[in-house]
Amino acid sequence: MSFLATGTTNYNSRIARAGTLAERYPFAASVLIFYARVADFQRTFSEQLPQRWGQERTRAGANGEFRVPLKTEIVLEPFAEFLQVVEAAGPQPLADAASTLSRSSASERNELLAEFWKTGLRESSELDSKARLWQFLARAFLQPYAEFVAGAMLPPALPMTACRCPHCNSLPLLGVLRPEGDGGKRFLVCSFCSLEWEFRRIFCAQCGEESEGKLPVYIAEEFPHVRVECCEACRHFLRTIDLTKDGHAVPLVDDLAAIPLTLWADEHGYKRIQANLLAT
């Protein structure tokens, strides 16, 4: 099985792509501009992590264990800075949530981060509106930390049908088709630690359906490089960024911009396997 390693995230490319797509797709501009602010913070936090962590990084994810206890002593100060960024640049509900959390005690913020690190993403249907906002704050802030920990781990040997991240057990966020020979090799991208792992082309990442007739693919003229890969068996869908059609795409960012494709899927009764950071 092939893996693409975490720990080398190019935040500059993400930020630049967000600016490009904000001009190309005005309907997604506000989402992409806010995301660029989040990614700018994530870049700084990511660059600081090796020094904050110190020489103990070699023990991060030891023995293949991703969710070792969160090192709260190195995240609480940056988390306070992140909340200030969201309060200043985020949409009103998120800005209000960040403001409320900023005024909470250090122990409350610590509990939020430690609990999210331990349990991971939960279905939005399981959360009230406040919990959904707080989950965004924890997810967006801890993503560079997750990429850092995953980058210290060796990939395990797995079959090519692993539907969850082999590092952190999170659901896949999206798919990526990367050029190989005359076609493309399919990878899934983790919704939390950003690991990419090779995955079969004709196979549902939710339920394992492998009948090609039950796995239709839809492509909109407006987004020719973005595939909506649906499953008629479980009624879930995965968005896949086809780099064989647009080599300039940055999968995580292009996914954020494809808002009309989510609206189309909702109208046709398909549910996304895992929502992206801004639920677009």
CA angle 140, 144, 149 (to 5 degrees): 130
CA angle 231, 236, 239 (to 5 degrees): 90
Count of structural domains, the chain? 2
**Which residue is listed with tokens 């796995």?**
215
Same domain, 68 and 184: no
Does the residue 157 lie in any domain? no
Does the residue 280 lie in any domain? no
Same domain, 144 and 179: no
Instruction: Domain of residue 194: give its range.
Output: 172-272
DSSP, residue by residue, 51-68: HHHGGGGGGTTGGG-S-P
Same domain, 29 and 63: yes
pLDDT tens, position by position, 197-237 = 999 989 999 999 999 999 999 999 999 999 999 999 999 99
Same domain, 141 and 221: no
Same domain, 141 and 14: yes
Task: Tell which residue, 189, 268, 276, 188, has the closest CA to residue 235.
Answer: 268
Cβ proximity of 243 and 271 under 8 Å: no
**Average pLDDT estimate for 80-85:** 97
**Which residue is listed with tokens 């991240």?**
165
Q: Mapping DSSP to helix (H, G, I), strand (E, B) and coil, where does residue 77 land?
A: helix
Same domain, 121 and 229: no
DSSP, residue by residue, 169-182: -PPEEEEEEEEETT
Does the residue 142 lie in any domain? yes
| Residue 59: partners with Cβ closer than 8 Å, 6 or more residues away | none
Domain termination residue (choose one: 151, 181, 215): 151
Cβ proximity of 38 and 84 under 8 Å: no
Tokens of 223: 């987004």
pLDDT tens, position by position, 236-254 = 999 999 999 999 999 999 9
Domain termination residue (choose one: 96, 118, 151): 151
* Amino acid 5: pLDDT: 47
Same domain, 202 and 138: no
pLDDT tens, position by position, 115-173 = 999 888 887 777 788 889 999 999 999 999 999 888 877 766 665 568 899 888 899 99
Same domain, 147 and 176: no
Q: How many CA atoms, within 13 angstroms, populate the side-chain half-sphere of residue 247?
A: 4
Same domain, 249 and 144: no
Domain termination residue (choose one: 116, 151, 186): 151
Cβ proximity of 248 and 19 under 8 Å: no
Rounded to 5 degrees, what are φ and ψ at 253? -80, -45
How far is Cα 37 from Cα 142, in angstroms, rounded to an integer? 15
Does the residue 108 lie in any domain? yes
